[in-house]
Amino acid sequence: MKLNQKIAIVTGGSRGIGKEISRNFIKEGATVIAIAIDERPQIEENEKSDFPEDRFIYYQADITDFNAISEIVTEIYNKYQKIDILVNNAGMAKDNFLVIMKEEDFDKVIQVNLKGTFVMTKAVAKIMRKQKFGNIISMASVVGIEGNIGQTNYSAAKAGIIGMTKSWAKELTMKGENIRVNAIAPGFVRTGMTESLKEELIEYVVENTCLKRLGEPQDIAKLAVFLASDDSSFITGQVIRIDGGLRI
């Protein structure tokens, strides 16, 4: 198993891509601590073997609240005596055209996607620097690289995550620590977020994707396992697109 006895924190780890990452990490031997704003999810009967209670621990918390997150991270470290992996997956979208985008919608998306990633990483990085190892994976997006119509706030947040990823990869190895920092930049993935998109937009995206389909959460989860494992031990500071060949 590629992640045997690893301790992993996954934000937004109870649904969509985050849930699939949690499932795959557990399958590979990790203990997953999921942190999300929602109440603890109900695990379906047919999923209980994928999410055993002793290896899928859930905290309900606001990832933008540094004091709350710092307490949780300290509690996790005190219990397990290490934190191997952090996956910054939690995020949200509030799309609209620039001229009619509400200021509060801009602020909320930046707060959750960008500040939340900063807060989580700041809290965990203190421990990883102390233990001199760790692995940080943040969820960016192709729109953080290319931009997208109607997504000023989301594009800005994801571009910011890319910038932070490259900065942290340099900063968190300054004293010889073995801390790797990478980002995943998905294209359009079949999740609750994309279910609200108009059918004609989905058709347009599929037509302009080389592999002629949307991504699945499992596609992203497999890449996360690779980046979290020793298979990628010489990869850091990278932004890896996983978009089926969208607009190449």
Six token digits for residue 32: 């997953």
Distances (CA, A) of 155 to 3, 95, 142: 32, 10, 9
Q: What is the pLDDT of residue 45?
A: 84
Domain boundaries, the chain: 7-242
At a CB cut-off of 8 Å and minimum separation 6, what does 103 contact?
none
Q: Which of 59, 77, 154, 204 is catalytic?
A: 154
* Rounded Cα–Cα distance for residues 95 and 106 (Å): 9
State the CB neighbour count (10 A cutoff) for residue 213. 13
DSSP the chain: -TTTT-EEEEETTTSHHHHHHHHHHHHTT-EEEEEESSPPPPPPGGGTTTS-TTTEEEEE--TT-HHHHHHHHHHHHHHHS---EEEE-------B-GGG--HHHHHHHIIIIIIHHHHHHHHHHHHHHHHTEEEEEEE--THHHH--TTBHHHHHHHHHHHHHHHHHHHHTTTTS-EEEEEEEEE-SB-SHHHHTS-HHHHHHHHHTBTTSS-B-HHHHHHHHHHHHSGGGTT--S-EEEESSSBT-
80 belongs to the catalytic site:
no
- In tens digits, the chain (248 residues) has pLDDT values of 999 999 999 999 988 999 999 999 999 999 999 999 988 877 888 899 999 999 999 999 999 999 999 999 999 999 999 999 999 999 999 999 999 999 999 999 999 999 999 999 999 999 999 999 999 999 999 999 999 999 999 999 999 999 999 999 999 999 999 999 999 999 999 887 666 667 888 888 899 899 999 999 999 999 999 999 999 999 999 999 999 998 76
Q: What is the CATH number of domain 7-242?
A: 3.40.50.720
Distances (CA, A) of 124 to 75, 153, 208: 11, 26, 39
